[in-house]
Amino acid sequence: MPTQTDKEKIEAGKWVNCWICETVFRRKRETKRYCNKCGRGFCEGEHGTFAYGVGTCIIHGVRKKDRLD
Ligand SMILES: [Zn+2]
Ligand SMILES: [Zn+2]
């Protein structure tokens, strides 16, 4: 059975861990918001925004000119 993405888990009514908290801060924080671009969970307000029914994590929500590539 394939591993569910955070998006699929949230759509199924489950909580997921914010991927930024996990990756950057090595901590677990549960959320029900997911990024429309990467499909991973993020905590609303701190690590992303949710507007007009679309969630975007801070990594994918930054404007191109602000991105640190
Ligand atoms: Zn977070
Ligand atoms: Zn993202």
In tens, the pLDDT along 24-46 reads 999 999 999 999 999 999 999 99
Parse the chain into domains and list their residue ranges.
6-66
* Gap from CA of 69 to ligand 2 centroid (Å): 15
Segment holding 16, helix H or strand E:
strand 16-17
Q: Is the pLDDT of residue 49 over 80?
A: yes
Cβ atoms of 65 and 43 closer than 8 Å:
no
Q: How many CA atoms lie within 13 A of 30 on its CB side?
A: 5
- Report residue 24: phi and psi, to 5°: -90, -40
Task: Determine the distance separating the centroid of ligand 1 and the alpha carbon of 24, expressed in angstroms.
Answer: 9
Residue 64 CA to ligand 1 centre (angstroms): 21
* Global pTM value: 0.82
Residues paired with residue 50 on neighbouring β-strands, in sequence order: 55
Rg of the chain taking only CA atoms, in angstroms: 12
Q: pLDDT category, 66, cuts 50, 70, 90?
A: low
For the segment 14-26, what is each residue's pLDDT rounded down to a tens digit? 999 999 999 999 9
Give the distance (Å) from ligand 2 centre to CA of residue 11.
16
Does the pLDDT of residue 68 top 90, yes or no? no
> What is the Å distance from ligand 1's center to 25 Cα?
8
Copy the structure tokens of residue 42: 């993020």
